[in-house]
């Protein structure tokens, strides 16, 4: 395919012109900040967010499953980026600044194809992966992904539909492959939790969830209370017999 260009009015180009037009009137320092934020900053922030979420998950009773979900977030991003390689080659959409003069391009020199946006794909896959594992961190991650999409259009390096396509691809990979990923990662994280690398999965001092008969937590405690109460009954009967004999 030669791209996604359409004849006549094109809302995609209109939105591109509107958002990128903000860069034309912005001070130089604002555009410089947007360049670094859109190219590196948001991705770095998502990396820090994943580390914070992992540090928190290690302190939860069900740590192996929680950590497995967090491990899936960056893995989903990697798989989504690999899936984007044939998509880009099939669509072959040029960067917007090659077909539309007058754009303010903050990062010149990009020569690869435009659809879909790698940055949008990566950030949304991480955001949705985080949301599967932790609603709190996932909402932050998704908001960062949306900000990344805005930055890519603002910088003049992607059409809005490039960003939307990246969001869709990242979300699809993170959601559709999550059950298979959890089936593989939870046993792996559980095994690591029993090894010398247990600190990667469970914080020191955090005990595993107690499991009773059938593997369900909490039954041991209930059973011990029943046994303790039952063992006290014979002693009570003996004391009553003594009183009657006296």
Between CA 26 and CA 53 the distance in angstroms is 35
Backbone angles phi, psi at 8, to 5 degrees: 80, -165
According to the model, what pLDDT value does residue 100 have? 80
pLDDT, tens digit (0-9, with 9 covering 90-100), for 120-164 = 999 999 999 999 989 999 999 999 999 999 999 999 999 999 999
More confident residue, 176 or 195: 176
User: What does the pLDDT average to over 71-82?
Assistant: 96
Question: Which range is least confidently modeled, 7-21, 58-72, 199-213, 231-245?
Answer: 231-245
- Comparing 46-55, 60-69, 183-192, the range with the smallest average pLDDT is 60-69
108: Cα separation from own chain's centroid: 30
pLDDT at 170 over 70: yes
Higher pLDDT pick, 198 / 176? 176
Q: Residue 201: what pLDDT?
A: 87
Q: What percent of the chain has pLDDT over 70?
A: 79
Is the pLDDT assigned to residue 195 strictly greater than 80? Answer: yes
The answer to whether the CB of 175 falls within 8 A of the CB of 128 is yes
pTM over 0.75: yes
Between 168 and 2, where is the model more confident?
Answer: 168
Report the chain's mean pLDDT, rounded to a whole number: 82
Per residue in 17-38, pLDDT tens? 999 889 988 999 999 999 999 9
87-121 pLDDT tens trace = 999 988 999 988 888 888 888 878 888 999 999 99
Mean pLDDT of 193-221: 62
CATH class of 11-200: mainly alpha
In terms of Cα–Cα distance, which of 68, 70, 67, 154 is closest to 119?
A: 154
Q: Which two tokens stand for residue 88?
A: 């880009």
Q: What is the pLDDT of residues 212-243, one digit of tens each?
A: 444 433 333 333 333 333 444 445 444 444 44
Q: Is the dihedral of CA 29, 34, 39, 41 positive or negative?
A: positive
């Amino acid at each position: 395919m030669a791209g996604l260009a359409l004849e006549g009015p094109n809302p995609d180009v209109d939105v591109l012109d509107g958002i990128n037009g903000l860069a034309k009137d912005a001070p130089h320092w604002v555009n410089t900040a947007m360049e670094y934020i859109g190219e590196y900053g948001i991705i770095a922030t998502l990396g820090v967010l994943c580390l914070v979420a992992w540090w928190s998950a290690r302190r939860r009773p069900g740590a192996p499953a929680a950590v497995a979900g967090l491990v899936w977030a960056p893995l989903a991003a990697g798989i989504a980026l690999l899936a984007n390689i044939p998509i880009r080659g099939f669509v072959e959409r040029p960067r917007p600044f090659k077909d539309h003069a007058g754009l303010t391009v903050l990062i010149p020199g990009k020569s690869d194809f435009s659809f879909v946006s790698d940055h949008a794909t990566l950030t949304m896959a991480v955001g949705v992966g985080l949301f599967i594992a932790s609603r709190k961190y996932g909402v932050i991650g998704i908001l960062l992904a949306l900000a990344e999409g805005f930055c890519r259009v603002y910088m003049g390096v992607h059409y809005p539909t490039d960003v939307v396509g990246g969001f869709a691809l990242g979300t699809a990979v993170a959601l559709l492959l999550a059950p298979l990923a959890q089936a593989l990662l939870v046993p792996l994280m559980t095994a690591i939790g029993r090894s010398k690398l247990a600190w990667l999965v469970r914080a020191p001092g955090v005990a595993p969830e107690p499991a009773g008969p059938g593997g369900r937590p909490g039954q041991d405690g209930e059973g011990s209370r029943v046994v303790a109460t039952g063992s006290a009954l014979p002693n009570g009967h003996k004391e009553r017999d003594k009183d009657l004999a006296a």
